[in-house]
Amino acid sequence: MRQMLASLFQKEGFSVEEAASADDALERVADQDFDVVLSDIKMPGRSGIEMVGELRRLRPNTPVILMTAFGSIDSAVSSMRAGAFDYITKPFEPDAVLLTVDRALERRALEEENQRLRQAVDRTSALGDLIGESTAMREIFAMIKKIAHNRSSVLLTGESGTGKEVVARTIHYHGARADRPFVPINCTAIPEGLLESELFGHVRGAFTGAVTSKRGLFEKAAGGTLFLDEIGDMGLGLQSKLLRVLQDREIRPVGGTQSVAVDVRIIAATNRDLEQEMREGRFREDLFYRLNVIPIHIPPLRERPEDIPALADAFVRKHSEGMRHWLNPAAMKRVTAYPWKGNARELENVIERALALADSEEIGPEDLPLGDLRDDAQAPGGDDLLRSAARRRLPLRQVEDYYIDEILRLTGGNKVHAARILGIDRKTLYRRAERRARQAHPEEEVAGA
């Protein structure tokens, strides 16, 4: 009977191992994870029913199907009581066994899926949208909770893509100002000349083209938070004006004669080394100390790989339509070991793209265009990616977005360098980036877009 069943399943494409007794079977089960166990009840030594209990303790996810003699109601009942998935009565048709095994496999897959979901939930430790499990991130969580309610300036530092903007939002939305506006502005995206009026507003006739007066972002952020992104790129002239605003807590619109009091929390961020910028005379020391009241440094993702699984899960949930997709363990292992030069942003882009291009809901390492770790200069999977994009009939715009992301990844997020490679000007690159950012945060106005 055992040999007959073994060859039946082998013919169906299963890989089969045989055991001649319960003890033999338990030994194998202890060191190998089988998808399903099919066993007789009457065997030399321990019975199949005794074996089920032991087996369930060893491998709670492995379904066991027992074979009982026809008409033996007792052993059918005790099989189920012992925790068997099902029983089949002898004699049986091959199709009946195959069908029962299929159902057992389906159920196992379902249980594993549930377990995976539960784990994903348990594993997620987060503060609002901010995810992290590493000591470094937990310290940042604690810091945010401590400072969210006061108005001291915050200076966020960290490489491109480490999550400075998420941290800024989290501070805002956990504080007393949560119901007031959070206004982000990217200091590099706007030419120096316009930045001043963007920040402080202008009066009518202040300069050619100023046909009406306009409120600045400081006023728009009244009572809330102004997020000055890429502060390290702000010119010296504007730096001194900003310093004055921080000292006096009032602004003067361009061309105006009257100052207006402002109540705004400033969170500034940069991926530059401001100490270095100060030494080289590109950043005012007094402004630095005004901003650096509460410094928060976010380490690069490669220094906190413990955060990668939870981030990867979150990005999968975010970008999977109907939350159908999942990373299989091999894919998870691969992303956790990857050095992520572009930090969380790169991880998110890689996952978004993998989901858009994947043929199945299970994402494996082969779906992740991570390329060869030793040769980063080679655009990973380029040809495959294009072919796959064509197969999915993706619109050009989306393919362009992916390409832009890829170049940004290769340049470590350096937008000037990336724009040069892409043959578009820097402003076009910012516009594209901001259009995508707006899709992510439609409720906010993105300055300078």
Ligand X SMILES: Nc1ncnc2c1ncn2[C@@H]1O[C@H](COP(=O)(O)OP(=O)(O)OP(=O)(O)O)[C@@H](O)[C@H]1O
CB neighbour list of residue 433: distance below 8 Å, 6 or more residues apart: 415
| Least distance to ligand X, CB of residue 240, Å | 24
Total site size for ligand X, rule CB under 6 A? 18
271 binding ligand X? (CB under 6 A): yes
36 vs 370, which CB is nearer to ligand X? Answer: 370
229 vs 367, which CB is nearer to ligand X? Answer: 229
Cis peptide preceding 91, ω within 30 of 0: yes
Identify the residue among 47, 160, 188, 197 touching ligand X (CB under 6 A). Answer: 160
65 vs 404, which CB is nearer to ligand X? Answer: 404
Judged by beta carbon distances under 5 to 8 A according to partner kind, the member of ligand X, Mg ion, none in contact with residue 345 is ligand X
Q: Write a three-state SS string for 313-327.
A: HHHHHHHCHHHCCEE
344 binding ligand X? (CB under 6 A): yes
Burial class (CB in 10 A: 0-12, 13-18, 19+), 50: middle
Q: State whether residue 228 is helix, strand or coil.
A: strand
Virtual CA dihedral for 202, 203, 205, 207, nearest 10 degrees?
A: -20
158 binding ligand X? (CB under 6 A): yes
Distance CA 174, CA 172 (A): 6
84 vs 344, which CB is nearer to ligand X? Answer: 344
Distance CA 68, CA 283 (A): 82
48 binding ligand X? (CB under 6 A): no
Residue owning tokens 């009939």: 393
Residue owning tokens 């930045």: 195
Of 19-27, 31-39, 127-135, 389-397, the segment contacting ligand X by CB under 6 A is 127-135
165 vs 406, which CB is nearer to ligand X? Answer: 165
How far CA 330 is from CA of 326, 336, 365, 426, in Å, comes to 11, 10, 6, 38
| Least distance to ligand X, CB of residue 77, Å | 52
Q: How many CB atoms lie within 10 A of CB 204?
A: 11
Distance CA 1, CA 19 (A): 12
Binding site for Mg ion (CB under 5 A): 165
184 binding ligand X? (CB under 6 A): no
161 vs 175, which CB is nearer to ligand X? Answer: 161
Identify the residue among 65, 104, 165, 304 touching ligand X (CB under 6 A). Answer: 165
Identify the residue among 48, 163, 184, 369 touching ligand X (CB under 6 A). Answer: 163
419 binding ligand X? (CB under 6 A): no
352 binding ligand X? (CB under 6 A): no
Distance CA 92, CA 109 (A): 25
Judged by beta carbon distances under 5 to 8 A according to partner kind, the member of Mg ion, ligand X, none in contact with residue 296 is none
348 binding ligand X? (CB under 6 A): yes
132 binding ligand X? (CB under 6 A): yes
Burial class (CB in 10 A: 0-12, 13-18, 19+), 118: exposed
165 vs 277, which CB is nearer to Mg ion? Answer: 165
360 vs 439, which CB is nearer to Mg ion? Answer: 439
Judged by beta carbon distances under 5 to 8 A according to partner kind, the member of ligand X, Mg ion, none in contact with residue 63 is none
Helix 343-357 to helix 396-410 angle (10° resolution) is 150
Instruction: State the residues that interact with ligand X by CB under 6 A.
Output: 129-132, 158, 160-166, 271, 311, 344-345, 348, 413
